[in-house]
Structure 1
Amino acid sequence: MTTTRFAPSPTGHIHVGNLRTALFNYLIARKAGGTFILRIDDTDPERSKEEYVDGIKRDLEWLGLTWDRTERQSQRLDRYAEEADRLRGMSRLYEAWETPVELDLKRKKQLNMGKPPVYDRAALALTEADRERMRAERGNGVWRFLLDQQRIEWTDGILGDISIDAASVSDPVLFKMDGQILYTFASVVDDVDMGVTHIVRGSDHVTNTATQIQIIEALGGTPPAFAHHSLLTGPQGESLSKRLGTLSLRDLREAGIEPEALLSLMARLGSSQPVELRLSLEEIAEGFDLSQFGAAPTKFDVEDLYPLTARKLHGLPLAAVAEDIAALGVPADKAELFWTVTRENIRTRAELGDWWALFSRGAEPLVADEDRAFVAEAMTLLPEGPFDHDTWGQWTAAVKAQTGRKGKGLFMPLRKALTGREKGPEMADVMPLLQTIPARNLTA
């Protein structure tokens, strides 16, 4: 059975980059009728927070990315220790004591000599007496996995055939000096134990994948099918790393982005397929094809989400937004007209509040100096409310007859005076919703 996983660290809010990974793995599992696991990578007790675990679940639920089961790495520490002991028994795990400064000096020396800046395995030459002395002087060391220095090859679901010389990669650290297990090892043990068959993640993990394939094989497992998607950049190709805090799913949700808009964009961004709004995950999964994605960095612009959000909202019936409209204080007998008038003129649900404020409290009149006398005169001809759909036509006809103005010179100043906007819904539809007219107070 196809089994995939999403393994976020609960050290912050998940962002659009994380979503891409989660969505791809979700779609692979759902398209195959398989299992999607939410695995919380909480092995760092200092940085992992329960509030972020809750936030991750809220974000995924908002998007409809339901998981079949939840795993917590913090509850599997005994299992990791057990597998680490097995690697030690195979002489594939060894202790090393170099400080960060010492490692940095080694790397610089190797670079100066034109060699790859990889760990030189000096710790393997230590005798038992040397190791005891190092423990006495420096405490516990880190534990490194001993790579077989041969080529590591796999066919990547996006990047194609990959071949990495293990001799050009440092033996990865699996346990820190304080005993904390690192992602590289915990993830492998989990993937083997949980029968993960497919893994999609960012292209910055390609080297990790190479080392993890060897760890998986050392533990007697079968490497899953790997695929590495391109990394996101800003709209000008700039790094997103400094902006990810503003691109969290929580922030996008609060900005009014509809989940279907975000999912539709993320499911096609970076592929050869056009971005099209899809209103269900079933539709998105049906058209999802991992082979259509490329390796080049992919530009992401949050502004692209707003037209998709607007397109979704434009097609919604009143029932789908009735609660939002009622919460604004729109009278029940005005709700249907309010939605009809505003639906084509909003990008997000939040903008409904702006429109109701305009209708209920009135807009600040937008009047050019050359139109001030004309608008003031027109206001004397506007009847008292309540207004209906005929009010606009009857009023503008009366204004035309008295002032001689016509066309854009007639209609635009009056629209701007009543709504404070140059564009918007048909004024015949707007008039029945207007509760107050601040422009009545204009004087010539």
Structure 2
Amino acid sequence: MKLRFAPSPTGYLHVGNARLAVANFLFARHNGAKFLLRIDDTDTSRGKPEYEEAIGKDLSWLGLKWDEYVRQSERLDRYAEVIEKLKASGRLYPCFETEYELNAKREARIRAGKAPIYDRAMLKLTADQRARAEANGKTPHWRFRLSDGSRKWQDLVMDECSVKLTAISDPVLVRGDGTILYTLASVIDDLDMGITHIVRGEDHVTNTGVQIDIAEALGAKPDRFTFAHLPLLLDSDGGKLSKRFDSLALKSLRQDGLEPMSIVSYLARVGSSDDPQVMTMDEAIAAYDISHVSKSAARFDMTQLLALNRRALHNLPFEAAKIHLPPEADETFWHAVRGNVDLSAEIPHWWDVVHGTIIPPSQPEDREFLQQALDTLPTEPWGEETWKDWTNALKEQSGRKGRSLFMPLRLALTGEDAGPELHVLLGLMGRERTVARLRDAIQA
């Protein structure tokens, strides 16, 4: 058993195609299978090396470790060999129509009430006609002659699927410049590389019927592959996710401070009968069941992902959190702030609160109280009871209690109206910094 993820290096991975990468990886590992990363880089006009590098970085960051790595651009000789065999068998045939001519044909068929599919006119081309076309400088593109009838398969998600080939235009598999298209290259790769299970988006269902026909033309058995088509992942408004939806690119989510396992945990469960929950990779692999994926489209809910990320960070041990922390940070600091961190990008702010510089908000109505707080601040050394002793003394002197007692102190010491427990932060900040913060707040 072997699965693959085959992205094109034409943009950054976003959560839509990351969901497919997660599904392939977890399904493979759950079944003890191999996982191949194949870069579909035959389109040199759109593909860029930096995107290929970003794909590898994103998948590694998510923890999706591949067993093999292949670039389609390194297999052009193999593709040329298969193309010649399909030409010799008559399944690939040359077509000389221009895009203008094809558009005119489609419009004419639509006006006549016919399906706008290719009419196979070039199958009737004689050798002499082809020679004259080539002599006039025309270069053909090559179409695959589809079989009659339908192609059916039992899908692991969609159940029984059927594609009527006679209702589809013979697909162009080789452009006029000789460039092979994905539809053929993918089939050749899947056959050569021993792929057994193909997990991809629902938008490939028709393409799957075509590719089964191509595979059979190359000598494969009808049941050579097992397919699973996942319904599309929609955005929060019900629209289709796009590679250009930069806010949902993995690169952006990483920069925003989301944990990779929060994303994996969410994408493993979204659109399934299983509720999303924070998991380790081993737990995600053990629990993954593709039969739980719904046939209906799912919506990507950023609020739900952020809630998962919050839980993941709140439970993250110090050793695992070190990659997010300043080198000087210790376990006490992490345990103090982790309950108030939704994204790892927020951690530097709390480090500044404890050890750096902040600008407290102006509290003119509480200046007298803050002066009382400064005057009653205990001398060092400080211990676990310092906060309690200090606030009890303030309470007795000022007559304040509850929010009116604690909120001005929180604002003065942290610049925030919510956050970690002040009795812990006080010990981390120390008396000198606490005095400076109170003085700044009084003068603000």
Q: Same fold (TM over 0.5)?
A: yes
Return the letter of the residue paired with 1:348: L
SS in 1 for 2:11: coil
2:401 corresponds in structure 1 to 406
Instruction: Tell me the amino acid that sits aligned with residue 137 of structure 1.
Output: N
Look up the match of 1:155: 154
Structure 1 residues 388-399: aligned runs within 5 Å: 388-399=383-394
Letter in 1 for 2:310: A
**How far off is 1:34 after superposition?**
1.7
Which string of whole-angstrom CA distances, capped at 9 and with x for unpartnered residues, describes residues 261-288 of structure 1?
A: 11111111111111111112x2112211
The structural deviation recorded for 1:368 is: 4.5
Whether 2:302 is the aligned partner of 1:286: answer no
Kept in 2: contact 1:277–1:312 (CA 8 A): yes
SS of equivalent residue, structure 2 residue 136: helix
| Contact in 2 for aligned 1:143/1:174 (Cα 8 Å) | yes
- Please name the residue that 2:77 is paired with: 78
> Structure 2 counterpart of 1:424, which letter?
G
Letter in 1 for 2:385: D
- Please give the secondary structure, in 2, of the residue aligned with 1:152: strand
* Equivalent residue number for residue 197 of structure 1: 196
For each residue in 1:295-320, what CA deviation from the matched residue of structure 2 results, as whole angstroms up to 9, or x when unmatched? 22210123332222222222222222
2:429 pairs with one of 420, 430, 434: 434
| Conserved? CA contact 2:8–2:41, under 8 Å | yes
User: What corresponds to 1:244 in structure 2?
Assistant: 245
Q: Does 1:167 align with 2:166?
A: yes
**What one-letter code is carried by the residue in structure 1 that aligns with 2:277?**
E
CA separation of 1:161/1:146 partners in 2, compared to 1, >3 Å: closer, same or farther?
A: same
**Counterpart for residue 94 of structure 1:** 93
Report deviation, 1:243.
4.9
Q: Distance in 2 between matches of 1:78 and 1:362?
A: 62
SS of 1:364's equivalent in the other structure is coil
Once the 2 structures are TM-superposed, how far is the Cα of residue 76 of structure 1 from its aligned partner? 1.4
By how many angstroms is 1:369 displaced? 4.5
Contact 2:232–2:240 (CA under 8 A) maintained in structure 1: no
Report the Cα offset of residue 173 of structure 1.
0.5
Matches within 5 A, 1:317-396: 317-322=317-322, 324-327=324-327, 329-330=328-329, 335-383=330-378, 387-396=382-391
Q: CA deviation at 1:412?
A: 1.9
Q: Distance in 1 between matches of 2:243 and 2:82?
A: 37
Q: Does the 8 Å contact 2:14/2:243 carry over to 1?
A: no
Match of 1:15 in 2: 14
Per-residue CA shift, 1:402-438, capped at 9, x if unaligned?
2211222212222222212221122111101225233
SS of 2:153's equivalent?
strand
Contact 2:197 2:227 (C-alpha < 8 Å) held by counterparts: yes
Is this contact kept in 2: 1:97–1:138, CA < 8 A? Answer: no
**Residue 418 of structure 2 corresponds to residue 423 of structure 1:** yes
- Once residues 15 and 386 of structure 1 are traced to their aligned partners in structure 2, the CA distance between those partners, rounded to angstroms, is 52
Letter of the structure 1 residue corresponding to residue 179 of structure 2 = Q
Equivalent residue number for residue 229 of structure 1? 230
Cα displacement (A) at 1:346: 0.6
Amino acid at match of 1:254: Q
Three-state SS of the structure 1 residue aligned to 2:227 is strand
Q: Secondary structure at the match of 1:98?
A: coil
Alpha-carbon distance change, 243 to 301 in structure 1, aligned in 2, over 3 angstroms: farther
Aligned to 1:5: 4
Cα distance in 2 between the residues matched to 1:211 and 1:243: 28
Shift of 1:242: 6.7
For residue 344 of structure 2, give the secondary structure of its aligned residue in structure 1: coil
User: In 1, Cα distance between the equivalents of 2:364 and 2:113?
Assistant: 74
- Quote the RMSD (CA, aligned, Å): 2.0
Deviation (angstroms), 1:348: 2.3
The alpha-carbon distance between structure 1 residues 119 and 386, as it changes in their structure 2 partners (threshold 3 A), is farther
Contact 1:93–1:145 (Cα < 8 Å) also in 2:
yes
Shift of 1:362: 4.1
Do the aligned residues in 2 keep the contact of 1:366 with 1:417 (CA within 8 Å)?
yes
Matched ranges for 1:34-53 at <5 A: 34-53=33-52
Aligned-partner Cα distance in 1 for 2:36–2:245:
24
User: TM-score with structure 1 length normalisation?
Assistant: 0.93
Output the amino acid matched with 2:74. Q
2:258 alignment counterpart: 257
In structure 2, the residue corresponding to 1:10 is in which secondary structure?
Answer: coil
Partner amino acid for 1:302?
A: M
Q: CA deviation at 1:135?
A: 2.1
Q: Does 1:276 align with 2:277?
A: yes
Structure 1 residue runs without a partner (length 5+): none
Aligned equivalents of 2:333 and 2:125: distance in 1?
79
Q: Distance in 2 between matches of 1:119 and 1:320?
A: 58
- 1:233-271 CA distances to partner (integer Å, 9 max, x unpaired)? 111212322753332222222221111111111111111
Match of 2:214 in 1: 215
1:382–1:149 distance in 2 versus 1, CA, 3 Å: same
What is the aligned length?
437
CA contact (8 A) 1:388 1:431 kept: no
**What secondary structure is seen at the aligned counterpart in 2 of 1:267?**
helix
Letter matched to residue 403 of structure 1: S
What displacement does 1:172 show? 0.5
